[in-house]
Structure 1
Amino acid sequence: LRSKAAEAKLAAERTAMIERDFSWVASEKASFGKGDYDFSKHDIPKLKTEYERIETRVGELKGKVNQKCIDKLEKAEREYEELTQKRKTVANDRERITQVINQLDDLKKVSMEKTWTKVDEDFGSIFSTLLPGTQAKLEPPQGATFLDGLEVRVAFGGVWKESLTELSGGQRSLLALSLILALCRFKPAPLYILDEVDAALDLNHTQNIGRMIKQHFPESQFIVVSLKEGMFSNANVIFRTKFVDGVSTVTRTVPSAAERAMRGPIDELSKGSKGQPSHGTLPAGRSALRDANR
């Protein structure tokens, strides 16, 4: 009896120590022997033997295992988690950037189509003004879209040319000038300077340039350098340059509306003193400057 009483006392002390060391025991001990705490089906002596064997093996390996490896493993795991998080961040950023790129591509397509439509319209209108009886357009190559590029097509009398090589030098000059001015029409500037753009053209075409400027660029001012009289029939102001006793002189003339309507080409600009071509300029929304001292 004394032996059993001693064992009971020892068991009570160990129980009190366990409850003190593990706070959950006090709250869970009412469930002991039930559910997850039912150990009746387990071979306690066998489990104790296995535990002691493992403890012995751990003791044998204690001096052989590098304890720093555990620290290194924990460090490697932390780095892995950080890299995984960074990878997720990069993936999310990539997805957002891709969405922005797609949105910009869509806006680019809309903007390019709008630009093409406006430039194509002005291109045809300007070219038909410079060269009456003609048509011009910008269109994608056969089987392609405007995003793949545009080709220049020209028609005379309703018949479309197969190649621009069929055009004369003057016609190609007017075509190039029409395209440049059509691009300018998309976002007009307040001032333009044209330097002898009519050099390869005859008088009729030169007059058409002045008419085209007046018709298509009402909000802009042009300074036009030319050696041909027809350019100035639509000018608002003319500056004439001529040599007098070896010195260049400049005179300013403001033609009246009646003079511009009746005279067409301004004959007095045809020559300066001593038979030399004169130098003039036409400012004001539809202006021209003529340079004879070249």
Structure 2
Amino acid sequence: MNFHPDDGVISRMDKLVEFRDPLGAAAKQYLPRLRSAYLTDSATAAEKLARDNPQFAFVTPDGTCYQGRMVTGGRPDQAGPLGMKRELRALNAEGLQLEHQMNEKQASLEKVAAELRATEQALEGINTKLRDTEREVISAQHRHGNMQTELARLGAELAVCQNELARVRKEAENTRGRAERAKHEHAAAALNRAEAETESARLAEELAGLRSSVQTEQQDLATGRAGLAAINERLAAAEALAARLREERAEMERRETALQQQVMSITDETTSLAKQSEELTQQLDGLRAEKLRLEARQKELEQEWESARTRVTQTEDHLRMGRQELQDLREQKTHAEVERAKNESDREHLRETCLSEVNAQPEDLIATEVAFMSGEELATAETNYREMKQRIENMGAVNMMALEEFNECEERFTFLTRERDDLLKSIADTQQAIAELDQATKEKFEHAFHAINKSFSDAFHAIFGGGMAEMRLTEPDSSGDAGIDIVASPPGKRLQNVLLLSGGEKAMTALALLIAIFRYQPSPFCILDEVDAPLDEANVGRFTKLIGEMSGQTQFIVVTHNRRTMEIAPVLYGVTMQEPGVSKLVSVRWEETRNENPNTKASAASAA
């Protein structure tokens, strides 16, 4: 992985660390951590890179090593590793104790805050209940005033009904008196009948008058009885209403008494709630003071915690320095072991070289030597030895199969050369065929384009009764192929693109192009679906004329609703619905009806 200087990386460690001879570069093979360690310019960059790349180690200029979340190294200190460990354990224990105390204080603070919130909620509920009770008292007082007004109104109606009842009773007594007098007079008239027989002629008229008066009185008596009955009914209704009003009044008085008692109880409860509210306010003030004290204590504990964390950080730094010293000692030990292993390996290599080249032990050679070479003589002998050995090694071993391998390679080369020549010839033939096909295609396209363009111009002129139209090749695109644009100029209009024409003109232009294509390459069948819909009568006539001219070599199937188009068809198929929901197919062949009435064709087209 490559790091840039913008990330704060100076270089990889194996490029910065060099070893003196005789170790040299061979020592780096025994220290693989150098290839995964980088030197950074600051501790911040090293910490960030170590967090993002935990598989690598990042070293700062002061010797601090960051790898993942582990930090080692740093400047040495006076404290030893064991002392730093003991101090670190003590600081950890102190930190845990402080954290435990802080958690307890935090829990007590949260408990007090919860009690405070519960008290505030209870106080809010009591205030709400008090407001609801006051609203109920005001509503009850309002209802009591309404009841008092209704009771006064009913009392006035009762007095009116009692006066009416006294008047009706008085009228009934008068009617009864008149009836009694009439009866006495009738009895006296009956007793004096004998005496009045003499005067019967004279009193006949009086008798008739008395009879009429009696009937009148009887009618009055019946009317009075009826009125008395109605008055009795009204009196009973008034008495019932008065009884009901008395009951309602008693009920209202009971409800008023109950409401007064409820108001008194609410007043007492309000007083007690006010006292409780004052007590809760005092408790709230005390809790707030306690909260402030606890917050101050919490700040003190946080400051103590920060100081403890600072001490722990310092202890960790001391411990990291001790670990770095230990790591340096281990590296020195490893370096010594590597050097010893290298010396042993060199000695064994020299022993094996002596045995393989001289076939003697180094001790025997040393014993046989009278005088040892030194200085320039030894260097010259060593150089001559290396040159001779290099020349022998360059010559290599003798290959007995070289001739056979040469023959096989020569045959393989001949075969591949022949295959290459065949492929080049095939490629040239294919390119020539492609060029010939492109030329033939271009010639056929140009021939078809000019033929269809001429037929298109003629058909357009025939359909529109004038004007001109043509196809034009556009500029080739990136693939080298050109497009086709259609420009048309109906009679009385300037030359323009076919997309700018009206719907009917587009349909006529498309029909002219279709006819031109069919003239160049006829087709046995052609289906036209309501192409005459946007055409007027004159253009329909020209359309049917062209269809008739081309029907000799192409069979047209035309879907249409135009009568003039139907009239040119030799066979007509129509779909009709004689009954709702039931479709029926009707077909007519004009060849079979040529001998019939000449108007049959037009009528059938009209029906279809």
Query: What is the TM-score of this pair, normalised by structure 2?
Result: 0.31
Q: Distance in 1 between matches of 2:429 and 2:504?
A: 53
1:1-294 maps to which residues of 2 (within 5 A)? 64-141=397-474, 148-157=482-491, 160-245=494-579, 246-254=582-590, 267-269=602-604, 271-272=606-607, 278=608
Backbone CA RMSD of aligned residues? 3.3
Q: Distance in 2 between matches of 1:230 and 1:205?
A: 11
* Shift in CA distance, 251/109, structure 1 to aligned 2, threshold 3 Å: closer
Q: Distance in 1 between matches of 2:510 and 2:432?
A: 39
Give CA-to-partner distance per residue, 1:153-211, whole Å, 9 cap, x none. 21233864233343111111221222233223322112222121222222332232211
Long gaps (5+) in structure 1: 1-61, 273-277, 279-294
- CA contact 2:448–2:520 (8 Å) conserved in 1: yes
* Shift in CA distance, 160/90, structure 1 to aligned 2, threshold 3 Å: farther
Runs of 4 or more above 4 Å deviation: 255-259
* Shift in CA distance, 269/198, structure 1 to aligned 2, threshold 3 Å: farther
The alignment partner of 1:200 has SS state of coil
Say which is worse superposed, 149-158 or 226-235, in terms of deviation.
149-158
AA aligned to 1:122 is S
The alignment partner of 1:133 has SS state of coil
Q: CA deviation at 1:72?
A: 1.8
- CA contact 1:185–1:217 (8 Å) conserved in 2: no
Q: Distance in 1 between matches of 2:448 and 2:514?
A: 14
- CA contact 1:196–1:227 (8 Å) conserved in 2: yes
Q: Distance in 1 between matches of 2:476 and 2:402?
A: 67
Q: Which has the higher contact order (CA 8 A, sep 6+)?
A: 1
Q: CA deviation at 1:238?
A: 2.8
Give CA-to-partner distance per residue, 1:65-104, whole Å, 9 cap, x none. 1112332222112111111111111111111112211111
- CA contact 2:475–2:483 (8 Å) conserved in 1: no
Q: Distance in 2 between matches of 1:179 and 1:114?
A: 16
The alignment partner of 2:496 has SS state of coil
Query: What is the TM-score of this pair, normalised by structure 1?
Result: 0.61
Give CA-to-partner distance per residue, 1:89-136, whole Å, 9 cap, x none. 111111111221111111111110111022112212222222222221
- CA contact 1:195–1:226 (8 Å) conserved in 2: yes
Long gaps (5+) in structure 2: 1-394
AA aligned to 1:108 is T
Q: Distance in 2 between matches of 1:257 and 1:270?
A: 14
AA aligned to 1:139 is R
- CA contact 2:489–2:496 (8 Å) conserved in 1: no
Percent identity over paired residues: 24
- CA contact 2:476–2:482 (8 Å) conserved in 1: no
Give 2:78's aligned residue.
Answer: none
* Shift in CA distance, 187/143, structure 1 to aligned 2, threshold 3 Å: closer
AA aligned to 2:435 is N
- CA contact 1:136–1:152 (8 Å) conserved in 2: yes
Q: Give aligned pairs, total.
A: 208
The alignment partner of 1:152 has SS state of strand
- CA contact 1:229–1:269 (8 Å) conserved in 2: no
Q: Distance in 2 between matches of 1:148 and 1:257?
A: 52
Q: Distance in 2 between matches of 1:134 and 1:220?
A: 27
AA aligned to 2:404 is D
* Shift in CA distance, 177/85, structure 1 to aligned 2, threshold 3 Å: same
Structure number with the higher strand fraction is 1
Give CA-to-partner distance per residue, 1:254-291, whole Å, 9 cap, x none. 178899xx99xx6425643xxxxx2xxxxxxxxxxxxx
Q: Distance in 2 between matches of 1:114 and 1:147?
A: 17
* Shift in CA distance, 139/247, structure 1 to aligned 2, threshold 3 Å: closer
* Shift in CA distance, 113/160, structure 1 to aligned 2, threshold 3 Å: farther
In our comparison, the structure showing a higher alpha carbon Rg is: 2
AA aligned to 2:508 is L
Give CA-to-partner distance per residue, 1:130-159, whole Å, 9 cap, x none. 222222111223799x96232212123386
AA aligned to 2:425 is N
